[in-house]
Amino acid sequence: MGAETKDQAKVDLSKGIAASTLPDGGMILGRVGDDDVVLARSGTELFAVRAQCSHYRGPLVDGIIVGDTVRCPWHHACFSLRTGEALRAPALDPIPCWRVDRQGDRIVVREKLPATQLSPAAGQRPSSIVIVGGGAAGVAAAEMVRRRGYGGPVTLISADADPPIDRPNLSKDFLAGEAQDDWIPLWPNDFYVEHHIDLMLNRRVSSIDTAKRTVRLDDGSEREYGALLLATGADPVRPPVPGAEDDRVRYLRSFADSRAIVERAATAKHVVVVGAGFIGLEVAASLRARGIAVDVVAPESAPLEKVMGIEVGRFVRSLHEKQGVTFHMGQTVARIDGRTVTLSSGASVDCDFVVIGVGVKPSVALAEQAGLAMDRGISVNEYLETSAPGVFAAGDVARWPDPHTGERIRVEHWVVAERQGQTAARNLLGARERFDAVPFFWSRHYDATINYVGHAERWDDVAIDGSLEALDCSIVYRRGGKILAIATVGRDRASLEAEARMEA
Ligand SMILES: Cc1cc2nc3c(=O)[nH]c(=O)nc-3n(C[C@H](O)[C@H](O)[C@H](O)COP(=O)(O)OP(=O)(O)OC[C@H]3O[C@@H](n4cnc5c(N)ncnc54)[C@H](O)[C@@H]3O)c2cc1C
Ligand code: FES
């Protein structure tokens, strides 16, 4: 996580503060009764909201104000200062607001305000909404259509056995044994009942008829839709390694996958992780937290090299080596025979089980069957609409025209998937809103969190400001002089400011 809230004495905001102590764009952490509250100023306007973000309780006082919004320093959620609404994921729930009075040169925070009721969105209303996929994009879309006042039937169909979950946690706290099972669902089951979302689990949509506007499920039943969202995500790549079909070889995408790894980890002493991307490395870190010896095997010369460059890759490797991880870089797995993993060099490593994390491929079979236009994923326009009328796509599966790079891109980031789900939801209701959010992701390695804004598949210049070793730096990726992406370690505010500049 990012920096903790500074341990400053909390002023009693109900007694008031001198207006001169709160500059434009400034925030003060205080309390009102038992609540921690942030008092914020934007221009001449004053706002008071709960101090903790509704995602993972990040300290909003360490974030930034942009217009009448506050941005969370940890994973860039954005809240309206006027209403407390969680305008952008990863936070989905609102935060409470308080009334603020100006009395001469003093600012006083009064009573907590009732939750704002959003007025239903204008625009055409589909007769029903079907969402295929109960992951980040699908669940954010289901919540958003209800938040925007849609009253028609909403069906959320998921091939997963579990209700929608906080997927990023599966390779982090949950796998490390630091989060309990009940932390993982995004909402309790009641949420879907209360919001009249028909959540169908363990069900796969097997075909779509875009002319008749129906989906067919794996049990043969059919559902009509007025508007359809495809949010089928991605599946782990299964490399054709002899022996990789063995039960000792695990992949990580679902809650069930993570539970299965946890179960094996309970008695394991040694694990081989194949792949040095984000998921492979997070699995390595979590298994080290359980005291298990970990060997990582990957073909690149440094971990994360393709995404973040060689300098960051070497630094991340050193972080893991300090924690006892052994790397076999520049190597692939030749075969797996029970407990023995043979590498391309001929060397072998004995282990209790293997986790393969060598990337994912978008789950496009359904879209291909439906005859939608494809482009290494489902091709969507700036409104996230596919080539079929009334059919939208969002998340890992969608390739969209990104206004920041000027390229059509597809990314595999939690926050992007949720934000696309939210934009698609508003467009399902007729909003015609462009998806123009700056891509953002985070990844955690022990006490270092990397935040990354923008998108750079290729760059011709990478400049590091600060020190990776001191966990205090920004890394700027440019092509042709243009900044494409900025990664930060220990500089959450700089990451938020970079995102705001790119948005502008
Ligand atoms: C272990 C792990 C850790 C991660 N950590 C991070 C992180 O730290 N930061 C970050 O930015 N990103 C992270 N990611 C990536 C992030 O989780 C994904 O980008 C995000 O989940 C994509 O959302 P999605 O809705 O597109 O797909 P998913 O969340 O994968 O959801 C797809 C859904 O579609 C369903 N489905 C597929 N086909 C069908 C069908 N035919 N019928 C019905 N349902 C179907 C699936 O069952 C699933 O419910 C992580 C991913 C994993 C696996
Ligand atoms: S804690 Fe605020 S966005 Fe995650």
The pLDDT of residue 8: 52
Q: Tell me, using a 6 A CB cutoff, whether residue 75 lines ligand 2.
A: yes
Per-residue model confidence as pLDDT tens for the chain (504 residues): 434 444 456 899 999 999 999 999 999 999 999 999 999 999 999 999 999 999 999 999 999 999 999 999 999 999 999 999 999 999 999 999 999 999 889 999 999 999 887 777 666 789 999 999 999 999 999 999 999 999 999 999 999 999 999 999 999 999 999 999 999 999 999 999 999 999 999 999 999 999 999 999 999 999 999 999 999 999 999 999 999 999 999 999 999 999 999 999 999 999 999 999 999 999 999 999 999 999 999 999 999 998 999 999 999 999 999 999 999 999 999 999 999 999 999 999 999 999 999 999 999 999 999 999 999 999 999 999 999 999 999 999 999 999 999 999 999 999 999 999 999 999 999 999 999 999 999 998 998 999 999 999 999 999 999 999 999 999 999 999 999 999 999 999 999 999 999 998
Question: How far away, in angstroms, is 153 Cα from ligand 1 center?
Answer: 24
- The ligand 1 atom nearest the CA atom of 233: 27
End-to-end CA distance of the chain: 26
CA–CA separation, 224 and 111 (whole Å)? 47
Q: How far is the CA of 139 from the centre of ligand 2 (A)?
A: 17
| Ligand in nearest proximity to the CA of 157 | 1
Q: Determine the residue of 53, 88, 442 to mutate for testing ligand 2's pocket, defined as the one with the most ligand atoms within 8 A of the Cβ atom.
A: 53
Q: What pTM does this model have?
A: 0.96
Which of 443, 393, 401 has its CA nearest to residue 420?
A: 393
- How high is the pLDDT of residue 78? 98
Residue 52 DSSP label: B
Residue 141 near residue 131, CB atoms below 8 Å: yes
Tokens found for residue 327: 């790397």
CA 379 to mean position of chain CA atoms:
21
C-alpha 136 to ligand 1 mean position (Å)? 6
Residue nearest (by alpha carbon) to ligand 2 atom 3: 75
Q: Going by C-beta distance under 8 Å and a sequence separation of 6 or more, which residues neighbour residue 44? A: none
- Evaluate: CB of 71 within 6 angstroms of ligand 1: no
Neighbours of 254 (CB within 10 A): 18
Q: Please tell me the predicted confidence (pLDDT) of residue 6.
A: 47
91 lines ligand 2 (CB under 6 A): yes
d(CA 343, CA 336): 9
Taking the centre of ligand 1 as the mean of its atom positions, its distance from the CA of residue 413, in whole angstroms, is 9
Q: Is 174's C-beta closer than 6 angstroms to any atom of ligand 1?
A: no
Q: What is the pLDDT of residue 282?
A: 95
Q: How far is the CA of 491 from the centre of ligand 2 (A)?
A: 15
Give the single-character DSSP code of 13.
G
The one-character DSSP state at 499 is: H
How far, in Å, is the centroid of ligand 1 from the Cα of 441? 14
Q: Which pLDDT does position 421 carry in this prediction?
A: 98
pLDDT tens-digit map of 250-304:
999 999 999 999 999 999 999 999 999 999 999 999 999 999 999 999 999 999 9
Closest ligand 2 atom, residue 75 Cα: 3
CB atoms within 10 A of CB 334: 16
